[in-house]
Amino acid sequence: MSEILRVEHLKKYFDTPAGPLHAVDDVSFTIKAGSTLGVVGESGCGKTTLGRVVLQLQDKTDGKIIFDGQDVSSVDKKGWRALRDDMQIIFQDPMSSLDPRMSVREIIEEPLKLQRKLNKEERITRVKELMDTVGIAERFENAYPHELDGGRRQRIGIARALALNPKFIVCDEPVSALDVSIQAQVLNLLMDLQDELKLSYLFITHDLSVVKYISDEIVVMYLGQIVERASSAELFASPMHPYTQALLSAIPVPDVHAKKDRIILEGEITSPVNPRPGCRLAARCKYATEVCKNPQTPEEVAPGHYVSCCRAHEIRQ
């Protein structure tokens, strides 16, 4: 399989009064065409910023982005507008990502209008087609977002992202705001669309069960850095990084007979403002020693399984 996206040493720092905030700090990964890379982490780990920077909705501080074989790191604003045909995004909160003063049809039609390829009639046909694809009945075309429920709103968000026939979509927590039964409907839709339209996803979420379900490969982020990367099955079967282990053991399992040998992380997430070199989990990690104060580099512990923890091998034993 060919690569659709390669990100190398991507950095995004925000200036704050206390110093630079390392929202995304030296992140590298690749996504194979037609597959899904899940990005999982807790609030403040930089996963949302990562999605925005990959699409250049926010400027990056440093690093390389290669999309479909083309280095797009130094492409200007105009060039990026052309790239938006192929790279799209689905947002977390379908209420705030849809303009409250636009009807369903206007929202889905907007990208087509801006693309200026289709005439009015063709656009209307395409909007109907898209509404059909994502499963919104035609009678809703003149409804406004606040008149619809969460699931339908998110379907509109998906239709808008699909309008330009993209190859790659960043899904930023697309089901977090939805109820379980609706969440399942939307997840199934996203997977069907992937098969049908050969889409690649960067799927950002805090929900481990969702990320396991939808991803081929997963990266775990903590305070702006990737701490572990592996295929979905591998990661859940043998998590190596102490953070991943804690994260996995913290998920409440809907099974009354499940064993509960939980690893509780001490304390709370620290701030990524002016971080010291070295492992960022060290302060909360029960395995932390002096060596953890050195910068961590990803190490391949199994084929395709990378861990940024210098004590990963010792912990395993």
Partner 1 sequence: MKRQNRKKSQAAIVMKRLFRNKTAVIGMAVIIILLLIAIFAEQLMPYDYAFQDYYALFQPPGGDYLLGTDHLGRDLLSRLIYGCRISLVIGLFSVILSALIGGALGCVAGYYGGMTDNLIMRFLDVYQSVPAFVLALAMSSVFGYGVPMTILALGISGMSGYARMMRGSIMTIKGAEYIEAARAVKGNDLHIILKHIIPNAISPMIVNMSMGVGNAILMVSMLGFVGMGVPAPTPEWGAMLAAGRNYMRDSGYLVVIPGIAIVITVMAFNLFGDGLRDALDPKLKD
Partner 2 sequence: MSEKAFLQIKDLSVQYTSDHQTIHAVNGTSLRLERGETLGLVGETGAGKTTIAKTILRILPDKAAKVAGGEIWFDGQELLGLKEEEMRKIRGNRISMIFQDPMTALNPTMVVGYQIQEAILLHNSCTREEAKTRAGDMLEKVGIPRERYDDYPHQFSGGMKQRVVIAMALACNPELLLADEPTTALDVTIQAQVLEMMSGLKKEFQTAMVMITHDLGIVAEVCDKVAVCYAGVIVESGTAEEIFDHPAHPYTVGLFGSLPDMTGTRNRLTPINGMMPDPTELPSGCYFAGRCPHATAACRSVRPEMKHLGGTHDCRCIVKGGEQ
Residues that bind partner 1 (CB under 8 A): 52, 55, 57, 81, 84, 88-89, 91-93, 96-101, 110-111, 114-115, 139-140, 142-144, 146-147, 157, 160-161, 163-164
* CA dist., res. 46 & res. 26, Å (int): 12
Binding-residue pattern over the window 243 to 282 for partner 2, x denoting contact by CB under 8 A: ---xx-xxxxxxxx-x-x-x-xx--xx-------------
Mapped onto helix, strand or coil, the DSSP state of residue 222 is: strand
3-class secondary structure per residue, 141-180: CCCCHHHCCHHHHHHHHHHHHHCCCCCEEEEECCCCCCCH
Cβ contacts of 12 within 8 Å, gap of 6 or more: 23, 24, 46, 49, 50, 53, 58, 60, 61
Check binding of 289 to partner 2 (CB under 8 A): no
Are the CB atoms for 187 and 201 separated by under 8 Å? no
Sole residue written with tokens 């977390």: 92
Segment near partner 2 (CB under 8 A); pick from 83-91, 101-109, 138-146, 205-213 = 205-213
- Which of 194, 201, 12, 203 has the alpha carbon at shortest distance from 92? 203
Check binding of 1 to partner 2 (CB under 8 A): no
Are the CB atoms for 226 and 235 separated by under 8 Å? no
Least spacing, CB of residue 275 vs partner 2, in Å: 17
Check binding of 18 to partner 2 (CB under 8 A): no
254 binds, among partner 1, partner 2, none (CB under 5 to 8 A by kind): partner 2
Least spacing, CB of residue 304 vs partner 1, in Å: 31
218 binds, among partner 2, partner 1, none (CB under 5 to 8 A by kind): none
Identify the H or E element spanning 122: helix 120-134
Least spacing, CB of residue 169 vs partner 2, in Å: 18
Closer CB to partner 1, 139 or 259, in the complex: 139
Check binding of 310 to partner 2 (CB under 8 A): no
Check binding of 32 to partner 2 (CB under 8 A): no
What is the sign, positive or negative, of the torsion defined by CA atoms of 268, 15, 45, 275? negative
91 binds, among partner 2, partner 1, none (CB under 5 to 8 A by kind): partner 1
Q: 314: left (phi > 0), else alpha (psi -120 to 50), else beta?
A: alpha
Q: How many residues bind partner 2 (CB under 8 A)?
A: 42
Binding residues (CB under 8 A) for partner 2: these are: 42-43, 149-151, 179-185, 187-188, 191, 206, 208-210, 212-214, 232-233, 236, 246-247, 249-256, 258, 260, 262, 264-265, 268-269
